[in-house]
Structure 1
């Protein structure tokens, strides 16, 4: 791969985030990188779209007053339309499990690229919970994203020519934080089906609190996910790579066909 290879780099944590800078510096070593990223944190906005956005020039490219999906559309349609790949990340916090795919701004930026027929990757860092330091205060050094940057650059360099994107429309990549071990191996995975959202009444103020209990279970080591799932791979210290298609897949079956045929017969 030569310097002609071009990448639109976006994210949902904002253009000033450490994870974004980590990927920019890694990709800048071998590719023409244009940043088209949110000016501020846009985490967990899914594929929310805006009618118009303000664009500000930035030392790395462009800061967009909008969502990650906005950034992909604005980049591919107006700012850098001829890029070879869209990469979203590196997100501070893992995007693992089937239930998060539609929520994540990071993943949604990659999904948006798939509708343009542009190969894409979403890249996220698993920050282990627990300890005296809240997870939100961890992973503030570029070195913390080393495994994510290494895996993402390897895939960017090799996946297109290997034919990966002839089968997958985008890759969801999740990497562990370095802990002194050698480079983390890559495992090809499927999104976990584990789901543990709860909603409970707060008797004091009458509100209902929504809570994702998966992270508590991960902290306690209670991980029922089998081998081959993204969550199992990341907890075991491997880089999870899930090859995915843009939503939504269609599965036709006889039961629904029969209902359609009998609709006007009743």
Structure 2
């Protein structure tokens, strides 16, 4: 709970400041659902890409200009900005140019599609959350395993609210961000929440080579997701069994277990 004090010394409740972003673009149904959840918890500011930026990873814009446009009017319940850059650009711009203070929470999503397992590496949704974490802001990335633009987000809203409120109340361990994935909704209800590790999996990729009518070759990236991990403590197992997976992730990429081995080498 957040409190402030009036001039007469009485205690008043203060709303937390929440930054909302995504990688599917500011008009995506997923971010609209996330915004509707966050207004129940605090004061919401949205800075999101003006067009889809999926699979951008932690890319930032350095060779082009960036544009930031306010798209909400003065009477709007939520202050919204569209940004011409990547999801990480959006977080950087929010912190540097839009907000007068660091937010109490950054939420990214709700992504249309999975960001479980190895997908976290490529995800613009999770990179935005990681960028907030680097800035010392508690952050969560939310994803629903449904690529349909008209996916039903209503059933998962209570879980989004519950998870976000717990983070606001309890904070997060230093350097930790939450990667939250929801299973694709079926007739069966969600069984609950599992705290998981990231499953070991790969994309077995190939390029679909085609030719234009003018004889020029072009390629579409395709691939098959292969789960190499049979553990029942992974995000992939949880999602396959109708649980919400929560994986605590970090931006420190040091392979700490390899340091002793490398110190034994003679360079």
Q: TM-score, normalised by structure 2?
A: 0.81
Give the match for residue 42 of structure 2: 31
Q: Give the number of equivalent residue pairs.
A: 242
Segments of 5+ residues of structure 1 without an aligned counterpart are: 128-135
Tell me what 1:130 maps to.
none
Q: Which residue of 2 aligns with 1:255?
A: 261
Secondary structure (helix, strand or coil) at the match of 1:102 reads helix
Q: Secondary structure at the match of 2:242?
A: coil
Q: How far 1:209 moved relative to its partner?
A: 6.0
Shift of 1:176: 2.2
Question: Are the structure 2 counterparts of residues 120 and 203 from structure 1 closer, same or farther at C-alpha, using a change threshold of 3 Å?
Answer: closer
**Structure 1 CA distance, aligned partners of 2:234 and 2:155?**
19
Is residue 69 of structure 1 aligned with residue 88 of structure 2? yes
Deviates more, 1:9-18 or 1:70-79: 70-79
Summarize deviations over 1:102-130 as a string: whole Å, max 9, x none: 21100100111111011100100012xxx
Matched ranges for 1:147-162 at <5 A: 147-162=155-170
User: 1:115-194 counterparts in 2 under 5 A?
Assistant: 115-127=134-146, 136=147, 138-140=148-150, 144-163=152-171, 165-166=172-173, 169-194=176-201
- Distance in 1, matches of 2:149 and 2:184, equals 8
1:83/1:201 CA distance change after superposition, 3 Å:
closer
* Cα 1:87/1:201, change in 2 over 3 Å: closer
Q: Pick the structure with more strand per residue.
A: 2
| Contact 1:95–1:124, Cα closer than 8 Å, also in 2 | yes
Following the alignment from structure 2 to structure 1, what is the Cα–Cα distance between the partners of residues 205 and 188?
36
In 1, are the aligned partners of 2:190 and 2:242 still within 8 Å (CA)?
Answer: no
Query: How much does 1:203 deviate?
Result: 9.4
Check whether the contact 2:200–2:229 (CA below 8 A) recurs between aligned residues. no
Unaligned runs of 5+ in 2: 2-12, 73-77
CA distance in structure 2 between the partners assigned to 1:18 and 1:226 by the alignment = 33
Query: Going by fraction, where is helix more abundant, 1 or 2?
Result: 1
Distance 2:228 2:121 in 1: 22
Contact in 2 for aligned 1:146/1:178 (Cα 8 Å): no
- Given the alignment of the two structures, is residue 231 of structure 1 paired with residue 236 of structure 2, yes or no? yes
The answer as to whether partners of 1:139 and 1:145 remain within 8 angstroms in 2 is no
Q: Is the alpha carbon distance of 1:182 and 1:210 closer, same or farther for their aligned partners in structure 2, counting shifts above 3 Å?
A: closer
Q: Say if 1:190 and 1:229, in contact at 8 Å, map to a contact too.
A: yes
Is the 8 Å Cα contact of residues 48 and 81 (structure 2) preserved in structure 1?
yes
SS of structure 2 residue aligned to 1:253: helix
CA change 1:184–1:223 in 2 (3 A) is farther
- Asked if structure 2 preserves the Cα contact closer than 8 Å seen for 1:13 and 1:43, the reply is yes
